[in-house]
Amino acid sequence: MLRLIAVLLLIPLLDVLLLGVVAVPLLGWEVTIVLVVLTALLGMLLVRFEGRRTLAKIQRSLVRGEPPTDELVDGALLIAAGAFFLTPGLVTDAIALLIALPPTRMPIRWAVKKWVLVPIADNKTGGFASGGVYIGGFPDEDGQAGPGGQAGPRGPGPGGAVRPGTNQSVEDESDGFDRDHATDIDYEERE
């Protein structure tokens, strides 16, 4: 997170240095202002065109019944490109141009998916989003997977079932209360 903040603070600093030290003395302040405004206007037209194209891709994906994951990431990247184009400066305009053009947006989209979206989704879903879930079988009493991934003597499956949150086996309970057909209220009153 600190690296991201440092990069976000470094970009405006580079813009100021490029504009103040290089562009104004070399081109003059009038040409520099026209250049900054012109790149922002042309960039916004590019983002508008690419946004419409991306929206059409989203609609086509939805019609086919496919999830439009790449297109949604492209839409988010185009929003970021629009923000960079609106920020005055030549460095931000160059970054926005890299994000807005489709050939350079593809590797950026791949990097965002790999290093940002997938780790966040895995963190929120416990690995279900990317398929990184534990498939080694049910653990036995010691917390280790049984032979061949089978259940241990008290784990769910052939060896027996354990009430969630306890170590008490369902078969060990002999109080005559039918938990399979009881409501939540009955079960809470019973305990």
For 27-66, how does the pLDDT look when each residue is reduced to its tens digit (9 = 90+)?
A: 888 888 898 899 999 999 999 999 999 999 999 999 999 9
> Is 0.85 surpassed by the pTM of this model?
no
Per-residue pLDDT at 185: 53
CB atoms within 10 A of CB 61: 16
Please state, in angstroms and rounded to a whole number, the distance separating the CA atoms of residues 78 and 100: 6
Please state, in angstroms and rounded to a whole number, the distance separating the CA atoms of residues 129 and 181: 34
At 125, list the tokens: 């879903």
CB atoms within 10 A of CB 99: 24
Domains of the chain, residue spans: 2-125, 134-191
| pLDDT > 70? residue 170 | no
Residue found by looking up tokens 């784990």 in the block: 155
Higher pLDDT, 11 or 151: 11
Per-residue pLDDT at 82: 95
Of the segments 16-30, 105-119, 130-144, 162-176, which one has the largest average pLDDT value?
Answer: 105-119
